[in-house]
Amino acid sequence: MTSFGTNPDTSVKTRVFIATSFPQITELLSQTLKFHGKEAFFTSGYPAETDSRSDFLVLQTSELKLAADFKPNIVLLTSEVSEDELYTVAQNITPGGVFIFPENLLEQAENIQNFFRRMPYSPMKTNVVNGEVSVITAMGDLPLKLQHPDSVLHLQGMQLLAQQFGIMEEAFYEALLELYY
């Protein structure tokens, strides 16, 4: 079996590791990218081959040990993890990469010696009126069409991840207004 790191097709791509047990997180990223005309190849395991047109390879898994083989440039962590698991993921981020993680892991993340950008996030503030969820943003309340209300816990992390694909905050919210996830 060819590993991610030795597969020449993956070594030239920006490798994005989404460490989560919530597939809705990856689905939201996929829909947001499509909304803005951006391409990425998504997988939840070892790909036989990737789409050569896209510059991004996105691996979504809850198996954190896969980060060692994947050698991600960008990581979004959404799950609670032990310090050892956090280290396993973070030690494999390529130098100069980006690590997006829940703010309650900030102290642990700051103790990791690898050279990468640390971007902690917190759950966004919300309003719930008559069962409808709105996220409170600098631009005002943003009504969401949520199938999975728990997704809002990681929405700021998703917004920070979307920035790594060139989708800035306002454009991210624009996609959210149109998407049903």
Tell me the pLDDT tens digit for each residue of 139-160: 888 888 766 666 778 889 999 9
Alpha-carbon span 135 to 123, nearest angstrom: 10
What pLDDT score does 93 carry?
93
139-166 core/surface letters (b: 16 or more CB in 10 A; e: else): eeebebebeeeebbbbbbbbbbbbbbbe
Asked if residue 155 is part of any domain, the answer here is yes
Domain that holds residue 13: 8-178
Nearest partner of 67 among 90, 40, 98, judged by Cα:
90
Kindly give the interhelix angle for 23-35 and 155-164, rounded to the nearest 10 degrees. 50
d(CA 39, CA 156): 21
Do residues 167 and 36 make contact, with C-beta atoms less than 8 angstroms apart? yes
Predicted confidence band of residue 6 (pLDDT cuts 50, 70, 90): very low
Residue 75 lies in a domain: yes
Of the listed ranges 30-39, 44-53, 121-130, the least confidently predicted one is 44-53
Residue 162, helix vs strand vs coil: helix
| Span between the terminal Cα atoms of the chain, in Å | 34
Asked whether residue 138 is assigned to any structural domain, the reply reads yes
Q: Give the pTM.
A: 0.87
Name every residue whose Cβ is closer than 8 Å to that of residue 107 and which is 6 or more positions away in sequence.
Answer: none
Q: What is the pLDDT of residues 49-81, one digit of tens each?
A: 556 678 899 988 888 888 778 889 999 998 777
- CATH number reported for the structural domain that contains residue 54 in this entry: 3.40.1190.10
Residue 1 lies in a domain: no
pLDDT, tens only, 163-180: 999 999 999 988 988 875
Number of domains observed in the structure of the chain: 1
pLDDT of residue 181: 52
